[in-house]
Amino acid sequence: MVGPMRRLCPTLLAALLALPALACGPHGETGIPEGRDKAWTKMDHDERLEYMATVVSPRMKTVFQNFDPERFADFNCATCHGEGASGDFEMPNPELPELDASKLYKKHRKATPEITKLMWKEVEPTMGELLAQTYGFGGYVSCSSCHIVHNEKH
């Protein structure tokens, strides 16, 4: 029993460590972004564009470039919003990889653990903070904010 248990323990431990972040629902608080006079959801199109250009984009560029400076060397609006990004900047972006949310995104946690960790530990919390919105499962900012997500059951 020691052999099978030894193989099971790292997998079980990884799953248990991930569950608190996943199962707790949305994190963060809804409010007004720092330096602004109204909530993100109340900003008009021009206010959102200005805020994205002056606050969100530079901060997110740092997050992505800290993760992989070469891959994200040309970080700009199109990185998240797609090559045709202009005008409405609608999300989710069909140019980003589609995600399978089944089994807590198991497919992605296994195939691309580092970028999955980046999204959950850096991207979602940073965007939530910048927009002064909740983030994570059930939050205003989540995987499905940017990606088309299938089998989402949380």
Using an 8 Å Cβ cutoff, are 63 and 129 in contact?
Answer: no
Spatial CA neighbour of 137 closest among 19, 26, 21, 15: 26
Mean of pLDDT values over 50-73? 96
Which string of b and e fits 7-24 if b means at least 16 CB within 10 Å? eeeeeeeeeeebeeeeee
What are 72-122's pLDDT values in tens digits?
999 998 888 888 776 668 889 888 999 999 988 999 999 999 999 999 999
Q: Is the model's pTM score more than 0.75?
A: yes
